[in-house]
Amino acid sequence: MEGMRAVTDVEGVGPQVASRLKALGILNEIDLLFHRPLRYEDRTRITPMNRVRPETRAQIEGRVMHQEVVQRRRRMLLVTLADDSGQVTLRYFRFYPSQRRMFQVGNRIRCFGEVRFGPQGFEMAHPECRVIGDDASEPLPKHLTPIYPVTQGLARATLTRVIDQAVERVGRGRLGLADPLDGMEGLGALVQAILTIHRPGPGEDLDALVDGHHPAVRRLAIEELLAHHLALARLNRARARQRALKLGSGEALRDRLLERIGFTPTGAQRRVSEEILADLQSDRPMRRLLQGDVGSGKTLVAANALLAAAASGRQAAIVAPTEILAEQHFNTFTEWLEPLGLNLVWLAGKVKGKARRQALEALAGQADIAIGTHALFQEGVEFRDLALVVVDEQHRFGVHQRLALAAKGSSGDQIPHQLVMTATPIPRTLAMTAYAGLDVSVIDELPPGRKPVTTVAISQGRREEIVERMRRTLSEGKQAYWVCPLIEESDLLEARAAESTAEELGQALPGFSVGLVHGRMKPAEKQQVMARFSAGDIDLLVATTVIEVGVDVPNASVMMIENAERLGLSQLHQLRGRVGRGSAQAACVLIYKAPLGDTARARLEVMRETTDGFIIAEKDLELRGPGEVLGTRQTGMLRFRVADLGRDAELLEPVKTLAGRLDREGADVIIERWIGEAEQFVDV
């Protein structure tokens, strides 16, 4: 046994490939082994040419009978391949001289590709081909061929070659894989599971391997869930030593705030505020998640917590993931808290020069409450006495930002209390595992007088009608959003789509002011547009999904969402939550492109039927799977490689049993293998 190597030690991995692998989260051989195929191809046999079927992928082998380059609508290379049973045409629209040489008449070729029915009978477009020896004795693979998910800039062939080497070493027993679970609770050997996943024999249940119900995949999933369980337990033991400052209740200040805000807190707001205040009065650091649907009034609850810190002469900070959102908090808190005699400080990335120096000085000195973006937690920012950190819309923060944030204000075993707030409801089935390290408070009641948003779905084909409807809305003096999401990760394309929509609507709706906000604009520009919308200077705001989070403009009462069929339920729910905050009846129009697939249809149906965030979250889990529900894609939190909380929920119990049976050494092996240096990320 030689032990595990870093990817950079694997043959054929230079700095370029290593950096692409890193983008997939692959740093060493173990990571390679845990990179599961998306699907498999059967190249273990040759299909006779008279037995190929259209719309299937097949491997054929035969002799080149003919090749020619023809000029139809496009130039193309046509090759006729024949075996004893029949013939198949290969068609290439892009081709190189080397290919023409490969298809020299008389050569024996082995080919894999998708079969179609064409003008000359069966054909394959752009199949993968290679010349094989004349005696036709070239061996076929004994196992199915894995097709791995790749990332931009990493060729599938390269990735496959690199993973192959690691699998090869496992197969020969050269890669040291300690296996403390082997034989426990009916589990098999880890090595066997890995080999089955990467090199299944022709008899394996491929569907089960792909969807994860195969025992080999479950073997890995159990180990991974166990690793998280063990790591969390270890963290909790370490945390038991940590202490925080005991804060007062801030009652006098809170009462004065209530007099100012002009509304009565809901029962739910009172209850969760009490839960939080009780935590703050203990020297055990608070670690609490506040869940409340969009518009449920989390800001007031946060204010109560901030006041408890300020009343005790300590500092508190509230951070938001975007500048728009942070500034909105700053405005609210300036109005609510400054009159109480508190010293507020604003810090965001755009605060530069003298203003920044003054902000830093205040944070190290007289400031009571800091409000801003993650700029508050960058190097060089020092607090005098930070006792509480409130993180708004926490799922929007990257893992590293959250870590930096937790570290601020810590000294020795002393850390600030933490309150994280989210409007993304977590289905109960997931909350336990996803937020295992946190106490949870839920605001399960909306402020009175909210009318549920009416939701309709309309096909994009009826665009004129939709624009007409918008004209009527605006004529009534209402404001509206028009969201143009693109699903590709390109915010450039998304910005362009929004730009052209804004232009089109500007022309179609003369007399109304149409604004535009998208992710490629400078923060200051975005801010300015949002401020004008807030002030009523803009009637219709065309936007990308940048407005998804937390923006509060009560007079906006209509939300149009284009491409609604391509968005997930949580995202639709967040967007819809931007309206219905004022007294007017609000509406949400989901514009979709027909025909709808089953999942998309089901989603739009759910949106029409309910405005309850929890029901929506449960449905979202059903329709999409937990990775997306929890937003792990963006944040890297709970990044499971093999396990899937939706699919594997019933593995959580056996995992607890296993955890109880493992000794310390076994536990260390498993944590190290699955989590390694990322241990700190296990924590939310």
Binding site for ligand ADP (CB under 6 A): 263-266, 269, 292, 294-300, 423, 447, 552, 554, 581
* Integer Cα distance of 343 and 237 in angstroms: 37
Q: Which does 373 bind (CB under 5 to 8 A by kind): Mg ion, ligand ADP, none?
A: none
Judged by beta carbon, residue 96 or residue 263, the one nearer ligand ADP is 263
Q: How far is the CB of 252 from ligand ADP (least distance, A)?
A: 21
Smallest separation, CB 549 to Mg ion (Å): 8
Minimum Å distance from CB 581 to ligand ADP?
Answer: 5
Residues 6+ apart with CB under 8 A from 661: 184, 185
Q: What 8-state DSSP symbol labels residue 612?
A: -
CA distances from 107 to 70, 120, 637 (A): 21, 21, 53
Please say which residue, 290 or 630, places its beta carbon nearer to ligand ADP: 290
Residue 447 DSSP code: P
* Closest distance of CB 392 from Mg ion, Å: 6
Residue 294 interacting partner from ligand ADP, Mg ion, none (CB closer than 5 to 8 Å by kind): ligand ADP
Number of Cβ within a 10 Å radius of residue 95: 17
Residue 548 site contact among ligand ADP, Mg ion, none (CB < 5 to 8 Å, cut-off depends on kind): none
Of these partners, Mg ion, ligand ADP, none, which one is at the site of residue 502 (CB under 5 to 8 Å by kind)?
A: none
Q: What is the DSSP letter of 28?
A: B
> CB of 402 within 8 A of CB of 424?
no
Q: Binding segment for Mg ion among 199-207, 544-552, 582-590, 612-620 (CB under 5 A)?
A: 544-552
Nearest distance from residue 554's CB to ligand ADP, in Å?
6
Q: In terms of CB distance, is 37 or 580 closer to ligand ADP? A: 580
- Write down the least CB distance from residue 60 to ligand ADP, Å: 59
From residue 291, give the alpha-carbon distance in Å to each of 85, 422, 613. 66, 5, 10
Tell whether residue 550 is a contact of Mg ion (CB under 5 A). Answer: yes
> 300 or 389, CB closer to ligand ADP?
300
> Of these partners, ligand ADP, Mg ion, none, which one is at the site of residue 447 (CB under 5 to 8 Å by kind)?
ligand ADP
Residue 146 vs 550, nearer CB to Mg ion: 550
Q: Minimum distance from CB of 471 to ligand ADP (Å)?
A: 28
Rank residues 300 and 645 by Cβ distance to ligand ADP and give the closer one: 300
Is 143 exposed, middle or buried, given 0-12, 13-18 or 19+ CB atoms closer than 10 A? middle
| Stretch touching Mg ion by CB under 5 A, among 62-70, 118-126, 536-544, 548-556 | 548-556
Cβ proximity to ligand ADP: between 228 and 573 the closer is 573
The one of Mg ion, ligand ADP, none whose footprint includes residue 266, by CB under 5 to 8 A per kind, is ligand ADP
Q: Which of ligand ADP, Mg ion, none does 441 bind, CB closer than 5 to 8 A by kind?
A: none
Cα separation, 433 vs 289, whole angstroms: 13
Least distance between Mg ion and beta carbon 266 (Å): 15
Query: What token pair was written down for 42?
Result: 């059967």
Interacting residues of 60 by C-beta distance below 8 A, sequence separation 6+: 46, 47, 48, 49, 52, 81, 83, 88, 110, 111, 124
**Helix locations, 80-189, DSSP H:** 97-102, 156-171
Strands (E), 444-536: 454-459, 479-483, 514-517
- Residues in contact with Mg ion, counted by CB under 5 A, come to a total of 1
Measured CA distances, 520 to 490, 525, 556 (Å): 10, 10, 23
Looking at the Cβ atoms of 91 and 395, the one nearer to Mg ion is: 395
User: In the bound complex, what is the minimum distance in angstroms from residue 435's beta carbon to ligand ADP?
Assistant: 18
568 contacts 603 by C-beta, under 8 angstroms = yes
The vertex-129 CA angle with 85 and 198, nearest 5°, equals 105
Report the interface residues with Mg ion, using CB under 5 A.
550
